[in-house]
Structure 1
Amino acid sequence: MSPSPNIVWFRQDLRLADNPALTAAAGDGAPVLGVYILDDETPGRWQLGGASRWWLHHSLTALGRSLERHGVPLVVRSGRSAPVLARLAAEVGAAAVFWNGHLEAHWRQTEREVEQALAAQGVAGRAFGLPLLFDPTHVVGRGGGAFKVFAPFWRACLAAAPPPAPLPPPERLQGFGGLADGSTLADLRLLPTMPDWAAGLRAAWAPGETEAQARLAAFLDHDLAGYAALRDRPEPCATSRLSPAMHFGEISARQVWHATAMRMALEPHLAADGHTFLRELGWREFFARLLLEHPDVAEAPMQPRFADFPWARASSGLQAWQQGCTGFPIVDAGMRQLWQTGWMHNRVRMIVASFLTKDLLIPWQDGEAWFWDTLVDADMANNAGGWQWVAGCGTDAAPFFRIFSPVRQGERFDPQGDYIRRWVPELKRLPARWIHRPWDSPPRELDVAGVRLGATYPSPILDHESARKRALAAFASLRSPQPPK
């Protein structure tokens, strides 16, 4: 008779290295069985967007292959997590079920349901920590809650104990062979079929733990030097592009932190760039902590006064923004990059978010929902936190009077127009002087470049200066905000 297996319940931890639940499950020498459950039935849970489903399929494929090399099967199921896990534990006679903690409130509630369902069968449930760099009980603001402003939060993080060293992959994994399961990854139907819109994603990305490690190594080798100066330039992209791998847990924040710190120790001249990069990990940590403190951050503004904000809910500009047809080149370039590759440079994310919420006065939730569906790195904490920050309704938010000019932002961060030429090819022959504001270009320059505004490229859907004044008036109509603590 086969010994009782330990089940590892995978979610946003699709890796072997630095996986506390997997390490613990393998530690007593028991056979291990991995399981991923596509839980689209839990009330209140945001359903996975299309781009995330594409990434998940390929990430699970990579995880399954890694486990298979050790003889460990990866079972895929769908349904409510608690009854599915309880049935699986009974089917294989599991000794215990292991999992890593999750930041989102509905998942923490699901974990409680899983514990109850397992306990009813006499099966132990063993949960491990949250995917954070710093212990949330040691980095707290006034009154013991989460910080509301990033700068003091980051100072407190740097003053705390450094993140623990990441765990190596388990030295020995013993697979469990007593399960006759006919479900396959294809049964989850994660990939688009009719139409298959994922060609751009396939060209841009290779999901999986091995690829994530390779991407980190390439960043440290080639792009960390100069990161502080170049990180806001969308072309050429000098950022790590690790966000989807970190969201799905193909690589942990601890692995990224310690690999960067080691490189800084070996090459001290990289210290300034390395600290700037680690600070970006700090923003990820900051938004994660806010999600823990404010579970409804994806739906409700963190500043209550914004409940009365006069959004233009019937605006026709949303579709033009989604399609990259606003007539503002840097905005259109970002939205087209997003649609084609499932990703957008962070500086451009701020530009397009400012345009939607402040030029068009469209609710930030509409932009958040579009990003959720189209981003391969759609993460509740970072997506909601970023949108609320730009819209001015979040904690540590950009002030309402900070309204990005698409032209000035483009001229500053894409001075030669290389990014625009890549993603808005109908403007590629325009000189750099006019590429950010083709409506001001002399007619002869437009003719030479083959640009006909309103025909080959849209005319601007609004006047930015008029939109800016309208936004300032709308923001000024709100009650005065409470100062952050």
Structure 2
Amino acid sequence: MSEFDSGLMWFRRDLRAHDNAALYHALKSCRRVWCVFVFDRDILDPLPRADRRVEFIRESLVELDAALRAHGQAHGHEHVGLIVLHGHATQAVPRLAQSLGVQAVFTNHDDEPDALARDAQVLGHLAHAGVALRSYKDHVVFERREVLTQAGHAYGVFTPYKNAWLKALTPFHLKAYPVARYAGALAPRPEAWRQPVPTLADIGFEPSNLSQLPLPTGASGAHQLLDDFVQRIERYHEARDFPAVKGPSYLSVHLRFGTLSIRQAAGLAYPMHLQGMAGASTWLSELIWRDFYHQILANFPHVAKSAFKPEYDAIRFEHGKHAEALFQAWCEGRTGYPLVDAAMAQINQTGYMHNRLRMVVASFLVKDLGIDWRWGERYFAQHLIDFDLAANNGGWQWASSSGCDAQPYFRIFNPVNQSEKFDPQGKFIRRYLPALAGLSDRSIHAPWAAPALELQAAGVELGRSYPRPVVDHAEARERTLLRYAVVKKPV
């Protein structure tokens, strides 16, 4: 016998109709279940009108709606599908729950500070109406305080966390939720909510260049990329650091919006890891880093606005018009360091940046230009299609040496050395900086050091067709060492 007569499944960052914790529990607990997604104006209103993330979500919702309808048809139910609203979620979800007369709303955890504040408001409104709110772990393998030190504290260093994570893992943690088994509880939508997924124009947005990018959307897109990656995973540990090589999984956006189940991803990698496959072990470590950063955000929420290590908030970064000009040059890919500029061109043109380059450009902004890491974190938050607060914050604090298990402050990436090591033939640079395409493989990493005749032959005029370096790396390194010297516990 069902616990509730009717319930409402609220999709957020879990846009799939299979292996979904909250959807499974809703279907198993209720005689009838409706499903809703809210284009939340609290999130959408500040965004640019052509935002790739909104378009990715919208296209993925079309597929989610189709998957729900297919579940309904398999059980002989017409008019099953996704209710899509555009408004403030704090008001829209309780209003819909009351209108449908449900006894419970089901959703999956989201530990970002704004999401927790939103959910607290929704909980209050629902409680006032006598409706329960039930939330489940779905976005990570282990969350919050599931993996702790022997002293019962949250981990702040990755390697012992990883060891504890692997020790705690059982087959149960990677088991998929059997949604299809209970899909007969999906209820036909009342006629007032049978509209198709709204277009971008319906919610005040315009198409971006997403359709021109090699990024398939929805759960089918996630599985397409996963199937492709499986063919390359054996070499992942060797290929992942080279931006001109097809090395990464390219699944970060699908993990971000839940079009791919983390259990499926980790469940793929873990057996290969046990067999000793180096590439799979490295990818599994990346998935564990993801869990690590999420538990950092959950247990140390101050990191969203300040340094994980409070003493690093004493660092005096550059400020004023000069700092703003340097930051703008970084944003626009005009630093004069080709690998940095090519990486910034990549994010500006596609909304994606290769992981190795995220570290390079972050180090350059903080330790070459002396700019507060929060400036770069905000820029990535605005432009990355796979933006995830926990991972983005963790990565920036790692690069700035202010975070958990961070890069020691005296280890400063040399942007030229990074370029020579990870883009030795300049293929990535040439792709995004065609003005430098005529330079030799040797000179393309540092055009200012190229012979004048080579620059002339390649059509490169420093200061005109390509900028001169905005800083000298060696001098910037010395300034950074002095800047960080105020920190009493640097490592």
User: TM-score normalized by structure 2?
Assistant: 0.90
Deviations 1:248-272 (A, max 9, x none): 111121110112235567xx4x612
Q: Please say if residues 4 and 93 of structure 1, whose CA atoms lie closer than 8 Å, have aligned partners that are also in contact.
A: no
Name the CA distance, whole Å, in 2 between partners of 1:135 and 1:161: 12
- The partner residue of 1:301 within 307, 311, 314 is 307
Q: Please say if residues 14 and 250 of structure 1, whose CA atoms lie closer than 8 Å, have aligned partners that are also in contact.
A: yes
Query: Are 1:175 and 2:187 counterparts?
Result: yes
Q: Please say if residues 7 and 96 of structure 1, whose CA atoms lie closer than 8 Å, have aligned partners that are also in contact.
A: yes
The residue number in structure 2 matching 1:87 is 95
Deviations 1:81-117 (A, max 9, x none): 3432221112122232111111213323433332332
Q: Which shows bigger deviation, 394-403 or 82-91? A: 82-91
Deviation at 1:118, TM superposition (A): 2.1
The residue number in structure 2 matching 1:322 is 331
Count residues with an aligned counterpart. Answer: 471
Deviation at 1:454, TM superposition (A): 1.4
- The partner residue of 1:465 within 474, 484, 490 is 474
Deviation at 1:448, TM superposition (A): 2.1
Change (3 A) 1:201 1:480: farther
Map 1:311-350; keep pairs closer than 5 Å.
Answer: 311-314=317-320, 315=323, 316-350=325-359
Q: Which shows bigger deviation, 446-455 or 124-133? A: 124-133
Change (3 A) 1:179 1:306: farther
Residue identity opposite 1:26 in structure 2: L
Map 1:377-388; keep pairs closer than 5 Å.
Answer: 377-388=386-397
Name the CA distance, whole Å, in 1 between partners of 2:104 and 2:379: 39
Deviation at 1:170, TM superposition (A): 1.9
Name the CA distance, whole Å, in 2 between partners of 1:282 and 1:191: 37
TM-align CA RMSD: 2.4
The residue number in structure 2 matching 1:19 is 20
Q: Please say if residues 363 and 413 of structure 2, whose CA atoms lie closer than 8 Å, have aligned partners that are also in contact.
A: yes
Query: Are 1:271 and 2:277 counterparts?
Result: yes
Deviation at 1:339, TM superposition (A): 0.8
Name the CA distance, whole Å, in 2 between partners of 1:170 and 1:25: 12
Change (3 A) 1:51 1:361: farther
Q: Please say if residues 201 and 341 of structure 1, whose CA atoms lie closer than 8 Å, have aligned partners that are also in contact.
A: no
The residue number in structure 1 matching 2:229 is 219
Query: Are 1:291 and 2:304 counterparts?
Result: no
User: TM-score normalized by structure 1?
Assistant: 0.91
Map 1:71-470; keep pairs closer than 5 Å.
Answer: 71=72, 72-134=80-142, 136-141=144-149, 143-162=151-170, 163-171=173-181, 172-173=183-184, 174-181=186-193, 185-186=198-199, 192-193=205-206, 198-199=208-209, 202-221=212-231, 223-262=232-271, 268=275, 271-314=277-320, 315=323, 316-470=325-479
Deviation at 1:168, TM superposition (A): 3.8
Residue identity opposite 1:16 in structure 2: A
Name the CA distance, whole Å, in 2 between partners of 1:389 and 1:188: 39
Deviation at 1:48, TM superposition (A): 5.9
Q: Please say if residues 4 and 92 of structure 1, whose CA atoms lie closer than 8 Å, have aligned partners that are also in contact.
A: no
Deviations 1:258-296 (A, max 9, x none): 12235567xx4x612111110011111110010001223
Deviations 1:121-145 (A, max 9, x none): 2323222225221255442125422
Name the CA distance, whole Å, in 2 between partners of 1:51 and 1:187: 11
Q: Please say if residues 453 and 459 of structure 1, whose CA atoms lie closer than 8 Å, have aligned partners that are also in contact.
A: yes
Q: Which shows bigger deviation, 63-72 or 370-379? A: 63-72
Q: Which runs of 5+ in 1 are unaligned?
A: none
Percent of matched pairs sharing the same residue: 37
The residue number in structure 2 matching 1:8 is 9
Change (3 A) 1:339 1:473: same
Q: Which shows bigger deviation, 13-22 or 67-76? A: 67-76
Q: Which shows bigger deviation, 31-40 or 332-341? A: 31-40
